């Protein structure tokens, strides 16, 4: 039976978040916390695979106690079990330390039930790095399948998965051994309106919460701020570009003008596939 772990995160809704103009950091209190939208697609895909092949879906998150809400949201989507690692020692983690902590949690989940597949969202909307998924794959020595926009086949018995990846210049269909890790694009599926059965299950659900002490073989120096080599030297809100040039005239005239500008500034485009 297929056991899928979906890694998720609770994030501030960056559509409405405000930046503190003095410190140039996000004012997290200014926006409600939501399930990272890409992760909703990851969980939905896990649930769809469960329906196709049978099995169970576990979700995993690292976060402060209120992040239980994000796990409940995943139960609404159709996940069976939710795990959360929550501890002061995890605070301040960058993507390296986060992938380490999540890996340790996945190792513990595997002991309860072996994991065949890990699914992550493409990236979080508060960090935009997309590094945690591949980081976990590397640590667990699994093939990382990024930018997946279609899961074509899963064969647990023979231990392989066939997926379609979305690249900048087209699509790529690849076969990978399992277990493997996928990070998925948001167009992979649409998250439907949850059923009442799942809503009631989520309302009653309490996730399994682990602190650092509950995990095994953990090197504390690799956790949280201590385990994070990333240095954020400066964060700022980009200034809105001003001015620009409006091209006027009919379609032919505008095309002519645009062509001239492009030719004039062709060195700007050089180097990318050759101008």
Partner 1 sequence: MSEKFDCIVVGAGPAGISCAYELAKAGVNVLLIERGEYPGSKNVMGGVLYRKMMEDVIPEFWKEAPLERPVVEQRFMMMDKESAITVGYKGMEWGQEPYNNFTVLRAKFDQWFAGKAVEQGALLVNETVVLECIVEDGKVVGVRTDRPDGDLYADVVVLADGVNSLLAKSLGFHKEFRPDEVALATMEIIKLDKKTIEDRFNLEENQGTTIELFGDATKGILGTGFLYTNKDTLSLGVGSLLSGLIKHKIKPYELLEYVKNHPMIRPYIAGGEPVEYLAHMIPEGGYKSMPKVAGNGVLVVGDAAQLVNAIHREGSNLAMKSGQFAAEAVLLAKEREDYSEATLNHYKTRLMSSFVGQDMKKYKDSTHHFDKFPQYFEKYIPMANKAMSQMFTVDGTSKWDKQKKIWRDVGTAGEKLKLARDAYRAWKVMK
Residues making contact with partner 1 (CB under 8 A):
193-197, 199-200, 203-204
CB of 192 to partner 1, least distance (A): 8
| Identity of the residue, 206 or 233, whose beta carbon is nearer to partner 1 in the bound complex | 206
CB of 204 to partner 1, least distance (A): 7
- Cis bond before residue 132 (omega within 30° of 0): no
Q: What is the DSSP string of 194-213?
A: PPHHHHHHHHH---EEE-GG
Angle at CA of residue 165, ends 54 and 130, nearest 5°: 90
CB of 252 to partner 1, least distance (A): 46
Beta-carbon contacts of residue 68 (< 8 Å; ≥ 6 apart)? 84, 206, 207, 209
| Identity of the residue, 193 or 250, whose beta carbon is nearer to partner 1 in the bound complex | 193
Q: Assign 232 to helix, strand or coil.
A: coil
CB of 66 to partner 1, least distance (A): 12
- The residue among 135, 144, 199 whose CA lies nearest residue 174 is 144
| Identity of the residue, 196 or 213, whose beta carbon is nearer to partner 1 in the bound complex | 196
Residue the block writes with tokens 């209120």: 66
| Identity of the residue, 197 or 242, whose beta carbon is nearer to partner 1 in the bound complex | 197
């Amino acid at each position: 039976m297929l056991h899928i772990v979906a890694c998720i995160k609770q994030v501030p809704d960056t559509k409405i978040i405000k930046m503190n103009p003095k410190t140039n950091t996000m004012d997290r209190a200014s926006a409600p916390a939501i399930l990272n939208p890409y992760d909703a697609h990851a969980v939905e895909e896990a649930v769809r695979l469960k329906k196709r092949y049978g099995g169970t879906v576990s979700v995993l998150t690292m976060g402060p106690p209120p992040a239980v809400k994000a796990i409940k949201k995943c139960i609404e989507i159709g996940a069976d079990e939710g795990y959360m690692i929550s501890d002061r020692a995890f605070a301040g983690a960058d993507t390296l330390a986060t992938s380490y902590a999540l890996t340790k949690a996945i190792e513990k989940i595997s002991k309860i039930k072996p994991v065949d597949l890990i699914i992550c969202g493409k990236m979080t909307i508060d960090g935009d790095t997309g590094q945690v998924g591949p980081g976990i794959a590397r640590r667990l020595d699994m093939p990382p399948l990024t930018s997946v926009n279609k899961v074509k086949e899963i064969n647990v018995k023979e231990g392989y998965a066939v997926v379609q990846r979305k690249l900048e210049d087209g699509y790529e269909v690849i076969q990978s051994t399992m277990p493997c890790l996928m990070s998925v694009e948001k167009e992979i599926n649409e998250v439907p309106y949850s059923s009442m059965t799942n809503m009631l299950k989520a309302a009653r659900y309490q996730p399994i919460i682990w602190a650092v002490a509950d995990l095994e073989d953990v090197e504390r120096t690799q956790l949280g701020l201590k385990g994070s080599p990333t240095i954020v030297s400066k964060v700022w809100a980009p200034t809105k570009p001003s001015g620009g040039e409006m091209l006027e005239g009919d379609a032919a005239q505008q095309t002519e003008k645009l062509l001239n500008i492009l030719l004039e500034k062709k060195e700007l485009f050089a180097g990318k596939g050759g101008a």
